[in-house]
Amino acid sequence: MSRQAKRALILLIAVAALGAAAALLAQPREEAPAPAATPELVFGTGKARSVSIENALDAFEVSDGAVTGVPPDILDAEKVRELLEQFDGLKPAKSVDASAKDLSIYGLESAEATVAATYENGETLKLLIGDRERVSGNHYFRLDGERAVYLMYSGQAERLLARREDYIGRLATPYCRAANALGAVLDIEFTRPDGGIAIRSCANPSDEMKRAMLSFGAVTHLVEGPVLHELDRTNAIPVFESLFGIEASEIVAYGLDEAGMAAYGFDRPDMIVSFGMKNGDLPDTPIEQWALRAVDEGSGTALISTGNGVVYRVPRPAFLDVRYEELASRWFFSPLIADLKALVIDADGETYAYELSGTASELLVSKNGRALDPARFREFYSLTVSAASDGEYLGLSAPAGEPALTVRYVYRDEAKPDDVLSLYPTGGRTLVASANGAAEFAIREKFASAVRAAVAALDAGEPIAQTW
């Protein structure tokens, strides 16, 4: 056979083999049988009606809306629901031992907890909780009277190893549902053994409140003192926010009367906070009245009572550190220019009276019958309302001598008394600032110097410096 013939024969054999292989692949293959499914273990059927728990810490029964010995109004309904629902077909995390010879190695000879669930269909389920499995953190458990051992998910087991106190709601006050805490808090009073601070909301003001608000223009709250101050909103926000969402790290006690509360110091608290809360932005959101008593434990924690007989241990809230001088705005008076009839400056034995009329957009200003440029007067006015304390609280120190400078705001509303800021020399770089007769704060002397210079500049038609 020639070499070419041999090659041809080999090629034919190869083609035939490939065809046979293709035919074989095209044949339907018989599938291997699927392994039989392992039936899912489920203990208890239907809906759990109640669960009785006996553990090293407590013994009590949980049912819908009730826990033995705990007033229903302080329960955490979500925790109660979760406990009952975990027995609506309890599924183990894992099967460990089908027939344990030594239950003690699982902590199931003398169990950490014995639990009995009763179902609406009359069925009962009793089980015992053992030790924690080291790797997963889950707990061993078995059914009463049986030696098969299973693992229960840690979250489920922890509910059964808890005290009844753990089913009390940890949230002492609600989270803020309004746009911000500043808008949610209405009138509020902070009371300490050595005094207090009162803050009044400007929402829905009376006529008297409206006149008081004229001293500060657009304002949300006023701080009451010897005189009214606008609330310093920057400093107030963290204080107001600390009133919401107070969550306990521990329920110390519950179901207490006033005698029981006194044992924890609530007959002489470090702080009482009373306030109105409109916790929402809808017009029909109801106003709630709250009163919190706080006992400072001095270790970064405090005890809180809301009047429901529960003592909450909480991280120390910011409102315990509230200070009058921080809540009172540093700016003494800031009326809207359109609300004024006159601005009067007394300095160095001279009186400078500026008469105002017209509207905010079409202001008319005159001095001794001579018209002034409204734009330049606005620059001068911006300087006068920038009078702010240096942050040093003086109490009610009585100023001595004659004031170095007096600024008087006279209002178009004749029922509104004048606001008067008088500055008294101290011989140093600060002046005592008397606002409507109350000398609570100091101010830098530079302010008085700046106003004197601005008075002269306004008369001379020169540039007015608005900073000091």
Residue 15's pLDDT is 43
CB 153 within 8 A of CB 93: yes
Average pLDDT for the chain? 90
Model confidence at 2, in pLDDT bands (50, 70, 90)? low
The residue to which tokens 């007394």 are assigned: 346
CATH for 181-327 is: 2.60.40
Higher per-residue pLDDT: 391 or 4: 391
Q: Which tens digit of pLDDT belongs to each residue from 291-301? A: 999 999 999 99
Residue 6's pLDDT is 47
CA–CA gap between residue 176 and residue 245 (Å, rounded): 7
Q: Which tens digit of pLDDT belongs to each residue from 262-320? A: 999 999 999 999 999 999 999 999 999 999 999 999 999 999 999 999 999 999 999 99
Question: Full-prediction pTM beyond 0.95?
Answer: no
Percent of the chain at pLDDT exceeding 90: 82
Per-residue DSSP letters for 235-255? Answer: HHHHHHHTTSS-B-SEEEE-S
* pLDDT at residue 52 tops 60: yes
CA distances from 210 to 56, 61, 327, 332, 336 (A): 62, 56, 20, 17, 13
* pLDDT at residue 419 tops 80: yes
The C-alpha angle with vertex 90 and arms to 86 and 93, in degrees rounded to 5, equals: 105
Model confidence at 227, in pLDDT bands (50, 70, 90)? confident
Residue 373's pLDDT is 94
Q: Which tens digit of pLDDT belongs to each residue from 82-126? A: 999 999 999 999 999 999 999 999 999 989 999 999 999 999 999
* pLDDT at residue 5 tops 70: no
User: Poorest-confidence range of 23-37, 191-205, 375-389, 402-416?
Assistant: 23-37
The residue to which tokens 């009962």 are assigned: 124
Q: Which tens digit of pLDDT belongs to each residue from 139-165? A: 999 999 999 999 999 999 999 999 999
CA–CA gap between residue 423 and residue 434 (Å, rounded): 6
CA–CA gap between residue 447 and residue 453 (Å, rounded): 10
The residue to which tokens 């030696």 are assigned: 147
Residue 14's pLDDT is 47
| Number of CB atoms found within 10 A of residue 139's CB | 26
* pLDDT at residue 7 tops 90: no
Domain ranges across the chain: 48-167, 181-327, 337-460
254 is written with which tokens? 């519950």
Residue 391's pLDDT is 81
* pLDDT at residue 8 tops 90: no
Strand order in the sheet with 124-132: 66-67, 59-63, 48-55, 113-119, 124-132, 139-143, 149-152, 94-97
CB 44 within 8 A of CB 117: yes
Q: Which tens digit of pLDDT belongs to each residue from 369-379? A: 899 999 999 99
